[in-house]
Amino acid sequence: MQSISVAMVARNEGKNLGRTLASVAWANEINVVDSGSTDNTVEIAESYGAKVYHESWKGYGPQVNSALDKCTCDWILNLDADEVLTPELASEIQGLLGGEPRFAAYWIPRLNLIFGRWMRHGGLYPDHKLRLFRRGHARLREDTEPHATPKTTEKTGRLKHHMLHYQYPTFTYYIEHMQRYSTATIPLFLRKGRTSSSVFAFVVNTVLNPALTFIWNYICRGGFLDGREGLIFHLNHSIYVNWKFVKAWKAYQEAGTTVLPNFKPPEPVDGGGNV
């Protein structure tokens, strides 16, 4: 079997980390880049034999790439602290690496737990993420937003079994994350010129875009089939889209024509798994 490293970033993930690491305890190497945990995150990681590296938060892309760079095995499995491999997925990966994989990178479907419900509609499943790849064949952009997945120029395959993502267990937890994530997108939006500076662009980005996002995900993609939780999520996700554009517009207005090159993305939410 070809060797495999697990790469993770974490901060105050004590409530999630043990569950995640137990699902990948069979891996040859586990690397955790911690950005200042004050709970038992480090102790839990070390109890599973993980190598823990202490680094200040540099932004999502640079932080994950730092974890990838520390991997020494043939393959890398990039996980967030709130993602868990099912036994079926673990067996599928082990079987894949026991032979000669056809592709250099693989997308893994993800099943998301939101407000106590496993979401299967509205574009939330299968939520494919590029998580498994040969070392050196995938990487995140340095200026990426929190929801990003590694990128590759190689041909990719797809695994059959999904991983579990304990994404937003409570509504309060969700709102806190959306506040941070929408703030973290400000420098990316400004660098791309998505400032909503004209009246037309402002209306399109802050009103039309969120409305169409809701219609597309809740109605066209069947989000209504996920019950009240689906309605709550998709309504508030459209509000989150509005927040991103409003915050970028406001930052642009306050900075004039400056692109805020020194804007520092916020640190990850405690116990948030980061995406």
Q: Which of 265, 121, 249 is nearest to 274 (CA)?
A: 265
Identify the pLDDT of residue 274.
45
pLDDT at 275: 42
Which residues, in sequence order, are CB contacts of 110 under 8 Å at separation 6+? 83, 125, 126, 127, 128, 129, 162, 163, 164, 165
pLDDT, tens digit (0-9, with 9 covering 90-100), for 153-190: 999 999 999 999 999 999 999 999 999 999 989 988 99
30 closest CA partner among 53, 16, 49? 49
Q: Please report the DSSP string for 72-114 in residue order.
A: -SSEEEE--TTEEE-HHHHHHHHHHHTS--SSSEEEE-EEEEE
The whole-number average pLDDT for the span 59-80 is 96
pLDDT (tens digit, 9 = 90+) per residue, 246-275?
Answer: 999 999 998 865 555 455 555 655 554 544
β-sheet with 75-78: strand ranges across: 51-54, 29-34, 4-10, 75-78, 129-134, 105-108, 156-158
Question: Domains (ranges, CATH) in the chain?
Answer: 4-168 (3.90.550.10), 171-255 (no CATH)
Mean per-residue pLDDT for 131-140? 97
Convert 179-206 to b/e letters by CB count within 10 Å (16 or more is b).
ebbbbbbbbbbbeeebbbeeeeeeeebb
Taking residues 31-60, report their average pLDDT: 96
Q: 156-158 and 51-54 as β-strands: parallel, antiparallel, unpaired?
A: unpaired
pLDDT of residue 107: 98
Each residue's pLDDT tens digit, 91-111: 999 999 999 999 999 999 999
